[in-house]
Structure 1
Amino acid sequence: MRLGTCRYQQQNYVFIEQAEYLLLPALEPRFAQAGWQDLQTLLEQGTDFQAVLNQTSSRMQVPASAVEWLAPLPRPRKNIMCLGLNYFEHIEEALNLTGKTAKKPAYPIVFTKAVTSVIGHETAVPYDPDTCSQLDWECELGVIIGKAGRKISPDHALEHIFGYTVINDLSARDLQLNHKQYFLGKSIDGGCPIGPVIVTQDEIADPQNLNLACRVNGVTKQASNTGYMLFNIAEIIATLSRGMRLEPGDIIATGTPSGVGFARNPPEYLHPGDCVECEVEKIGVLRNRISRA
């Protein structure tokens, strides 16, 4: 199933995507009362989405072109948890600039992005040159937690996943360099596009075999496969949950492959007017334009 959140006639709705139409169950009062205007609520309630789909009707259909796309979880309860340097070729391209030898980290590198950075598909990314002049792209597979847990074993980690999405971990490299930590450079307003949908885990048999790509103005910048992750999704969930309870609605960005702008010769960065497309196989294309703030 493909789920998300949109804005239609001045209200937010959780939708079920079906081809060029979106089903908005909350257009019927019984589903509106059940929380179908907030996906976070539905996840916490353990909603049976298939049962709801079986009760939908054509009265709930609206054309996808008639809505404003929002992030599937427009305002997450927690910061987005992110993996740094989780593809070996990305480590190589980053260290080539310093002359150091690339090697796999002993442990996953984890940082977060502020919830205020989250935007949706087709939403403009505000570009403020007074804040950042080195805005970079990072296409990533996103994981949405559906079942709470702590000290989750790798063998059972995938059982805690609700679904998968696409994340563009936009990065202000100048802020990142100046402050020596990731948080400010990763948390600029509009710096975390997510979407267009969440695909439920039952529709993706092997999340470690998905092609992913990033295009800027139609030119491919990144092309890889999730099978090249250094720490796989099960290991990531086990690591994060070792001392911290994971809860429904938690979002994990699993890292980006090589091809980012700062590692190119000469470096390439995003500017107003640029169109960035991040695509993950079986999920779709997340598209955003850069716009002068």
Structure 2
Amino acid sequence: MGVLFQDNIYDLNEVYRQYLESNHSSDVNSAEYLLPSNPTKFFALGHNALENSQTAYSYLQKATVHDATFEREDVIFGPPVLNPSKIICVGKNYKEHVAEMKSEIPEYPVLFAKFSNALIGPEDFIQKSEKTNQLDYEVELAVVIGKEASEVTKEEALDYVAGYTIGNDVSARDLQKRTPQWLQGKTLDKSTPIGPWIVTKDEIPDPSQLEIKSYVNGEERQSSNTKHLIFDIPFLIEFISGLITLQPGDIILTGTPDGVGFAMDPPRFLQDGDTVTLKIEEIGILENQVKA
């Protein structure tokens, strides 16, 4: 786990160890447990790790740290969550997208799943499988869960969030549409970029007012705002946690706005060499190239 600060990347675990050492804490030898460097272990600790990372970040802002600094260009970003126990996706969650797909506004959230085999980072290639000729892009706000959530109310739902990132729900439309269940078109190997980082929830107190856009080879394809979500994030967390216990590190992909390639006339699908750029306000840019 690293933290981006003033255009450099800092080893978060090492910064926290130096913080404990500077305060002569008896926990200095437990730094790897209290703030793990391994992302999977980090999220397993839930809000305890997040709170300790905030402490490390505060220390970084006012102290001089040693042997913990990396220049941005020397670092390759991987997916900010490596192996979530669940990736829950929401379909048909923007009215304009429902209309362009010639569907009906759902009474309940439309849920489907992806698996961790699909996840890639912000500097990886989107793998175009030879089994599809209809690869499509979908920009989505991704919610990362910060602590175990079961039967939570929408009023308390955001207390269970670790932060937010960008997801590209890349979809093989020909595989997705050939059966009533969408799964086979939604979770192909190395097809779903997330990133470039997680912005913690304290920096985005209101995720319902974020501009969201996508571009293919520099051409704008999607442009909307999360205020147009049919089912907003607190409702989704309440609804999903009423069915499924969410664990720290789980990801909810909240749906995509209109402008997907499948709905264009004629349809325009991703090809080998295409560059897909996603932007979400307050988070940043996620850009990946397609490779056959």
TM-score (norm 1): 0.88
Q: Which residue of 2 aligns with 1:120?
A: 121
Partner of 2:55: 51
**Residue segments in structure 1 that go unaligned for 5+ positions in a row:** 1-13, 96-101
User: 1:65 aligned to 60, 63, 73, which one?
Assistant: 73
AA at the equivalent of 2:77? W
1:1-293 matched pairs, under 5 angstroms: 14-27=1-14, 31-32=31-32, 34=34, 36-45=36-45, 46-47=48-49, 48-56=52-60, 57-78=65-86, 80-95=87-102, 103-129=104-130, 131-292=131-292
The answer as to whether partners of 1:25 and 1:32 remain within 8 angstroms in 2 is no
Deviation of residue 157 (structure 1)?
A: 0.7
Report the counterpart of residue 10 of structure 1 in structure 2.
none
| Partner Cα separation in structure 1 for residue 106 and residue 32 of structure 2 | 47
Please tell me whether the aligned partners of residues 163 and 201 of structure 1 are also in contact (alpha carbons under 8 angstroms). Answer: yes
Question: Unpaired runs of 5+ in structure 2?
Answer: 18-28
CA distance in 2, matches of 1:123, 1:36: 24
Deviation string 1:157-211 (CA, Å, 9 cap, x unpaired) is 1111110000000000010112331111000112211000000001012100000
Question: CA–CA distance in 2 between the matches of 1:125 and 1:133?
Answer: 14
Q: State the distance in 2 between where 1:104 and 1:39 align.
A: 37
2:81 partner letter: L
**Which sits farther off after the overlay, 25-34 or 253-262?**
25-34
Percent of aligned pairs sharing the same letter: 36
Question: Following TM superposition, by how much is the alpha carbon of 1:284 offset from its aligned partner in structure 2, in angstroms?
Answer: 0.7
Higher helix share goes to which structure? Answer: 2
Question: What is the aligned-residue RMSD (CA, Å)?
Answer: 1.6
Distance 1:178 1:230, change over 3 A: same
Q: Is the 8 A contact 2:85 2:247 kept in 1?
A: no
Q: Distance in 1 between matches of 2:129 and 2:235?
A: 37
CA distance in structure 1 between the partners assigned to 2:191 and 2:6 by the alignment: 28
Shift of 1:37: 2.4
1: distance between equivalents of 2:188 and 2:6? 33
Aligned residue for 2:239, secondary structure, equals helix
1:284 and 1:207 map into 2 onto residues whose CA distance is 14
Give the SS at the match of 2:277: strand
Give TM-score, length-normalised by structure 2: 0.89
Please give the alpha-carbon distance, in whole angstroms, between the structure 1 residues aligned to 2:94 and 2:174: 22
Structure 1 letter corresponding to 2:249: G
Q: Distance in 1 between the 2:243 and 2:113 partners?
A: 16
**C-alpha distance in structure 1 between counterparts of 2:187 and 2:151, whole Å:** 28
- C-alpha distance after superposition, 1:120-163 (max 9, x if no partner): 0020112222x111100000000011121211111111111110
Stretches of 4+ moved more than 6 A in 1? none
Measured after TM superposition, the shift of residue 76 of structure 1 is: 1.7
SS at match of 2:271: coil
